[in-house]
Amino acid sequence: MRGVTDEPRHTTPPRIDDIAALAEQVRAALPEPFRTHARAVAIHVEDFATEDVLTEMGIDNAFELTGLYDGIPLTERSVMDQPDRPDAIWLFRRPILDEWVERGEVTLAEMVTNVLIHEFAHHFGWSDDDIAAIDQWWE
């Protein structure tokens, strides 16, 4: 993606702030009109998803969840909706770092870009099947 740069080689694991900075670069590099809509979404970075989130999603291993969109997709909104909080994307640092190391051939910036774009796609109303049809990241 245009404008997203990778960080120098790390001698220690990238911190939450490092992942957040990469995510902000990704958001800033989105083409219009996506960038405008993406600005309304909060981006949070934590080490792992909470136990409540993992339980709700039926996930036993916290390392299996790299990101999560929490909100109402744009395609499902109504003028009658009164949101109780802003839409948010959660990036989970430790699972992202694990997958980055496992893959070996991708940069951290590419890894964060993939996870964040996947979650923004949910914000724009795309299903997992829609995303998989154009982005076969797992291959």
- Predicted pLDDT at 6: 52
CA–CA separation, 66 and 135 (whole Å): 16
Quote the number of domains for the chain: 1
- Predicted pLDDT at 2: 45
Tell me the sheet residues that pair with 17: none
Residue 103 lies in a domain: yes
Residue 9 lies in a domain: no
CA–CA separation, 36 and 31 (whole Å): 9
- Of 118, 117, 114, 88, whose CA–CA distance to 99 is shortest? 114
One-letter amino acid at 126 equals: W
- Predicted pLDDT at 53: 96
Which 8-state DSSP code applies to residue 15?
Answer: P
Q: Give yes or no for a contact between 47 and 93, defined as CB atoms under 8 angstroms apart.
A: yes
Q: Which domain holds residue 50?
A: 16-74+85-134
Q: What is the pTM of this model?
A: 0.82
Residue 37 lies in a domain: yes
Residue 47 lies in a domain: yes
pLDDT in tens, the chain (139 residues): 445 555 556 567 899 999 999 999 999 998 888 888 889 899 999 999 999 999 999 999 999 999 999 988 777 777 666 667 789 999 999 999 999 999 888 899 999 999 998 898 888 777 777 676 666 554 5
Q: Give yes or no for a contact between 119 and 68, defined as CB atoms under 8 angstroms apart.
A: yes
- Predicted pLDDT at 27: 92
- Predicted pLDDT at 105: 87
CATH of the domain at 119: 3.30.2010.20
Tell me the sheet residues that pair with 137: none
- Predicted pLDDT at 15: 95
